[in-house]
Amino acid sequence: MEISKKRIRSMIMSANIVGRFAPSPSGRMHLGNAFSYLLAWLSARSAGGRIVLRQEDLDPVRCNRNYADQLEQDLLWLGLDWDEGGSGGGDPYYQSQRSDLYAHYLHELEGTGLIYPCFCTRGALHAPSAPHASDGTPIYPGTCRGLSPAQRAEKAMLRRPALRIAVPEQEITFTDGLQGPYREHLARDCGDFILRRSDGVFAYQLAVVVDDALMGVNQVVRGRDLLSSTPRQLWLQELLAFPHPEYYHAPLLCAGDGRRLSKRDGDLDLGELRAGGASPEILLGKLAHWAGLIDREEPVSLPELLREFDWSRVKRTDITVK
Ligand code: GLU
């Protein structure tokens, strides 16, 4: 399946750009998150577009409302505003409040006959010998795909299953706005993936596709770590007859040892930086310089960045920042 850039463009030309921030509120925002939100904001705003804030708090153990509120405050402090969503927003923009919608679309997908219960334990799936996808997750070998109804009933007495979707022998290709052409063979490179976990929590891949469509998002700017999720999302969009957004996968910020910044890098989280007296302009200057948008690292304002913003100036490869 070729998702042509032309098709995506033509769908978007008729609508205005709707971008989004989709944070997972499981900790304080760090500069790596701020980096992709800045690009998402500049991309949408420079085209006169709108922005939705959606809190991806599906995981009840890792996420909470305090972090979500703190994320909003950090975004606003940086000047990265939004038009819809977050705590101000009418319809729920917290994924934890949208389970009925995910259940509805899961049910719709069940009509394809591709969904099946999977009883495999985490341990079995993470065996070191299992082949791994490019994002490091094990490729599911299809163990539970062919179980008979009797076998399913028997296993269901012992364990609540996850629900997986069987992927076809199909290659998905699309053109990322920043990273260029990208392709993945669904069966070989991803494998059957989970739509609802065994604890009943809906999976990111389903939630993000449903939400982007229902919230009218037509431009997704996010970290390059999610590039390999995009073919699965494009395929789910086809199955559900949803439009395809355009995608821009931003480089990741990395520490000197090559690993990407994470919540462990407390010195680069907004809490530490703000407490240390950094101003929004100083941080925007750092981020914009790392992105390739300004030549020297110096304080800069959002209106200045907005005037000059152009994706052709943004770096594609990961950026070492400490
Ligand atoms: N919630 C995800 C994260 O914070 C982003 C998901 C997305 O942009 O599709 O990593």
The CA distance from 197 to 75, in Å, is 31
- What pLDDT sits at residue 15? 54
- What pLDDT sits at residue 306? 96
Residue 17 corresponds to which amino acid? I
What's the average model confidence in pLDDT over 310-322?
93
- What pLDDT sits at residue 176? 98
Atom in ligand 1 nearest the alpha carbon of residue 33: 4
How confident is residue 126, by pLDDT bands cut at 50, 70 and 90?
Answer: confident
CA neighbor of 214 nearest in space, from 105, 73, 109, 129: 105
Question: Cβ(211) to ligand 1 under 6 A?
Answer: no
Give the residue, out of 24, 225, 262, with the most ligand 1 atoms within 8 A of its beta carbon, to mutate for a pocket test: 24
Q: Given this chain, do its domains 5-98+205-320 and 104-172+185-196 carry the same CATH topology?
A: no
User: How remote is the CA of residue 23 from the centroid of ligand 1, in Å?
Assistant: 6
Question: Cβ(249) to ligand 1 under 6 A?
Answer: no
> DSSP letters of 134-172?
TTSPBPP--TTTT--HHHHHHHHTT-PPEEEEPPPS-EE
Does residue 258 register a pLDDT over 80? no
Name the residue ranges covered by the structural domains of the chain. 5-98+205-320, 104-172+185-196
H-run or E-run covering 208: helix 204-214
Q: What is the pTM of this model?
A: 0.93
Q: Does the domain spanning 104-172+185-196 belong to CATH 3.40.640.10?
A: no
What's the average model confidence in pLDDT over 238-254?
97
What's the average model confidence in pLDDT over 11-21?
76
How confident is residue 256, by pLDDT bands cut at 50, 70 and 90?
Answer: confident
- The residue that leads in pLDDT, 128 or 31, is 31
Question: Cβ(24) to ligand 1 under 6 A?
Answer: yes
Q: What is the bridge-based pairing of β-strands 246-250 and 219-223?
A: parallel
What's the average model confidence in pLDDT over 98-113?
97
Atom in ligand 1 nearest the alpha carbon of residue 212: 9
Q: What percent of the chain has pLDDT over 90?
A: 81
- In this structure, of 154-158, 257-261, 279-283, 291-295, the range with the lowest mean pLDDT score is 257-261
- What pLDDT sits at residue 14? 43
The CA distance from 197 to 117, in Å, is 10
- The residue that leads in pLDDT, 132 or 89, is 132
Does residue 3 register a pLDDT over 80? no
CA neighbor of 39 nearest in space, from 230, 317, 311: 311
- What pLDDT sits at residue 5? 60
Q: What is the pLDDT of residues 58-95, one digit of tens each?
A: 999 999 999 999 999 999 999 999 999 999 877 799 99
Q: What is the pLDDT of residues 210-241, one digit of tens each?
A: 999 999 999 999 999 999 999 999 999 999 99
Question: Cβ(53) to ligand 1 under 6 A?
Answer: no
- The CATH H-level superfamily of 5-98+205-320 is HUPs (3.40.50.620)
Question: Cβ(226) to ligand 1 under 6 A?
Answer: yes
Give the residue, out of 208, 229, 248, with the most ligand 1 atoms within 8 A of its beta carbon, to mutate for a pocket test: 208
Question: Cβ(57) to ligand 1 under 6 A?
Answer: no
